[in-house]
A and B are shown apart, each in its own frame.
Chain A
């Protein structure tokens, strides 16, 4: 089912102005806390009324400020998973799900049974919500929502209230359930890992606006703005001046990094003399062995720096290199074995290579 919206709403200084369209897919709405993500879901579902704009489900306009259409919540057939699940505390798991199905007893029973087994709640049907774990509550709420046969599913931070260990399993569950019930879905999260794992399509939202939306790979490796680059954890975002442009390449100078060569970010690239940002993900930076003799081909974008900090992060180490005379720091993430093999430690000088194909120039 197609879902499209273009909605605006002001709360004093804060303003939401977003438009998106999607179909039969799972879109992740990703952004920092306070970006307006939950409010967007509430406006789509009708819990909060937008100041202006429209919301379309399939071919039906459920909200349109121009014609004055505003279907009540109950007629929109939207499934909504609240952040704290909003299970009815006076009903059992079975009753909660059956209330969602809300039809005649016999038909409901079969449907509830199916959903109970799909969401791995078998044996818990007679329990009350207070007797369930966080993950069970979440799956019960999802089952209740699916029971109402929604045209669109809105999930508000569905994993934020759960322990780290169960999240991973439940994310896999969600993808499995989405395969079984391929409903147009918007999932809201501020968790980068979650966004990457669940969303084939991602929309990055900040300050009430969509900064970029597109395929996961585009958003993660080709951020459109500095903010997007920051939110997706790129960390190494630098600015420089364009010194030259030729054959799809751009040469950028930065006082600390020196001369950096990168590929052009598509057509309409930057002009000579323009100020641009460019970024590289920490895990895409290569360390060059001290004894290695470099041939001319890989001499581009070689930077020397001093390790000023090293922090373990599970299977990898995060190093910060201080380069140049200013306070530019480069974040490098390396597998533990590399750090051990090259005995990289604080205070050592090392050379790293920022390969051209790993650098992304932000055009704006």
Chain B
């Protein structure tokens, strides 16, 4: 049996999660600790991938990164980067659709660290960086970690947007969920059963780990 979809799914999900955590942590911090104009609108935009159909999301991404778009042409001409119909497209699709699943718990965790605790550290002469490093992150890391696990799980299950942006090219952009769809379409029940089993077991493990993280000590 071809194990490439499994390998690709892990590669795409892992890369997407790295971006999700890096970018999402910044977003979560801004949403949790800062007040600014348009915060409510930004919140809706971040959360939107949770509710709009993945195909719609994929359509947007196709429009944004396709050859006809400014961004798509810019990336290709300047960096030689091709997004659409490559595994990088799958990364972007997974990144966008898993972002809200990370930002929501991460923001809640950061908000959960009361401003009194951070002010207490500032009053002791600590810089903003020290406050984040010594107080905020140590107290919020469980929520952040749980969010990262959820984001990774969401990325492994990404189907609609990935299909739109990266397509279904076996050995190149065919991830596990798409391979399952393919196998069913081709009447290959054996492959479908194995892949379905793998992904079911995987999601069970992920949810178990996420649950462990959220059972905090503090």
Contact = CB atoms under 8 A, between A and B. Distances in A.
A161 interface: no
B126 interface: yes
Contacts of A75: 125
A74 B125 contact: yes
A86 B124 contact: no
Given A86-B114, A86-B116, A73 B135 contact: no
Nearest to B125: A74
B212 interface: no
Which of the listed residues A73, A78, A79 has the most CB atoms from chain B within 10 Å of its own CB?
A: A73
Contact of B119 (A47, A77, A99, A130): A47
Interface in A54-88: 72-80, 82, 84, 86, 88
Contacts of B126: 74, 102
Interface residues of B, number: 17
B19 to A, nearest CB: 28
Nearest to B118: A86
B188 interface: no
Interface in B151-167: none
A45 interface: yes
B9 to A, nearest CB: 36
Interface string A94-138: 000001101000000000000000000000000000100000000
Contact of A148 (B114, B119, B125, B218): B125
Contacts of B119: 45, 47, 73, 80, 82, 86
A90 B116 contact: no
Contacts, number: 55
Given A88-B135, A90-B138, A90-B218, A80 B120 contact: yes
Interface string A264-291: 0000000000000000000000000000
Nearest to B122: A73
A82 B115 CA distance: 11
A89 interface: yes
A86 B120 CA distance: 7
A148 B124 contact: yes
A76 B121 CA distance: 13
B127 interface: yes
Contacts of A322: none
Contact of A82 (B116, B127, B139, B218): B116
Given A47-B119, A86-B120, A77 B135 contact: no
B122 A74 contact: yes
A144 B135 CA distance: 15
In the complex, which range does the number of interface residues on chain A fall in? 20 to 34
Contacts of B116: 82, 84, 86
Contact of B124 (A82, A90, A102): A102
Contacts of A90: 138-139, 218
Contacts of B114: 86
A139 to B, nearest CB: 15
Contacts of B50: none
B120 A82 contact: yes
A205 B199 CA distance: 65
B22 interface: no
Contacts of B218: 89-90, 130
Interface string A207-236: 000000000000000000000000000000
B34 to A, nearest CB: 16
Interface string A143-160: 011011000000000000
A75 B124 CA distance: 9
Which of the listed residues B117, B123, B134 has the most CB atoms from chain A within 10 Å of its own CB?
A: B123
Interface in B124-147: 124-127, 134-135, 138-139
B134 A99 contact: yes
A86 B114 CA distance: 9
A10 to B, nearest CB: 18
Nearest to A82: B116
B110 to A, nearest CB: 15
Interface of A: 45, 47, 72-80, 82, 84, 86, 88-90, 99-100, 102, 130, 144-145, 147-148
14 contacts: A47-B119, A72-B122, A73-B119, A74-B122, A77-B125, A80-B123, A82-B120, A89-B139, A89-B218, A90-B138, A90-B218, A100-B124, A145-B124, A147-B124
Given A84-B116, A89-B218, A99-B124, 19 more contacts: A45-B123, A72-B122, A74-B125, A74-B126, A75-B125, A77-B125, A79-B123, A80-B123, A82-B116, A82-B119, A82-B120, A88-B135, A89-B139, A90-B139, A99-B121, A102-B124, A144-B124, A145-B123, A148-B125
10 A-B pairs with least C-beta separation: A73-B122, A86-B120, A86-B116, A89-B218, A148-B124, A80-B123, A74-B125, A74-B122, A100-B124, A90-B138
